[in-house]
Amino acid sequence: MARKIKVNTSDAIGSMVSKVNQMSNYLGDLDDLDSSFKISQYVDSPDVGHYDDSSFVKAINHLNYELDSMNSYLTSGTATIRVGGIIGDSATFTRLTVGELIVDSATIDSATVGLLRGASLRYDSATFDSARITNLSGININYDSADFSIIKSTAIFGDSARITNISGTGDFNFANGHIANLHADSAGIVNASIDNFDANIANISNILSMDGVDMTDVHQFTIRDSTGVILLGGYLMSTDSALSIP
């Protein structure tokens, strides 16, 4: 049944009073408005000088003013909007500038980030088709496959890796490693197991071990004729500085 109330001139006094009270109940009590209506006086509302809870017209204009202001902030304004949280099933943001962004989960089809800064960037898993990162630092980086132009790090630990070129001025330390080809201007190697070794110059300062024999010294060896002319000259490798010990 329609709740529209119509007062007729032929209505009895009791019926008229009942209808007026019913209309009053439909409108509600102005004192029940939010406290913000009691302290606001928007100049574009009627009855300038009265608070926005003085009439229902002023209360409605109060809401309209708030909505207009919010629309201006969201679409073209420069004011700052602070909210405790935004929850949405779906949303499209053209530009989002935040001091801190905390999300439980996020799915991003595509994004262009001009500058990304933060105290920490933590994620359980991430998939990037392509990315250009000027500086990347962290405790651990785990990846199945990746292409890096330049890697700068205090330490690099890897179960397995394929590195096309590696260069640096610091220390290159490996507990265990397999290197198919190693080209170096200079290198200090403590222990190495090598199938093939080609070198223009190899400087060995202490011990050269071959088949379990440690060669520590080199002695000159010559064969001369009766006149002292060298017929055969060379060097012998020995395990001791004494000539009597092979």
pLDDT at 229: 92
Q: Retrieve residue 27's tokens.
A: 């409108």
Q: Which residues, given as ranges, of the chain have pLDDT below 70? A: 1-2, 42-49, 68-83, 98-99, 101, 106, 108, 111-127, 131, 133, 135-139, 151, 153-175, 177
Cα–Cα distance measured from residue 160 to residue 137, given in angstroms and rounded to the nearest whole number: 20
pLDDT at 119: 65
Confidence (pTM): 0.29
Q: Which residues, including other chains, have CB under 8 Å from residue 158's CB and lie 6 or more apart?
A: none
Q: Which residues, including other chains, have CB under 8 Å from residue 166's CB and lie 6 or more apart?
A: 172
Helix count and strand count (H, E) for the chain: 3, 4
Cα–Cα distance measured from residue 33 to residue 52, given in angstroms and rounded to the nearest whole number: 9
Cα–Cα distance measured from residue 242 to residue 246, given in angstroms and rounded to the nearest whole number: 8
C-beta separation of 47 from 58 below 8 A: yes
Q: Which residues, including other chains, have CB under 8 Å from residue 202's CB and lie 6 or more apart?
A: none
Q: Distances from the Cα of 192 to the Cαs of 4, 163, 197, 239, in angstroms?
A: 97, 19, 11, 20
> At 34, which amino acid appears?
D
Q: Which residues, including other chains, have CB under 8 Å from residue 70's CB and lie 6 or more apart?
A: 81
Partners of 186 in the beta sheet? none
pLDDT at 223: 92
pLDDT at 225: 92
Q: Which residues, including other chains, have CB under 8 Å from residue 113's CB and lie 6 or more apart?
A: none
pLDDT at 244: 84
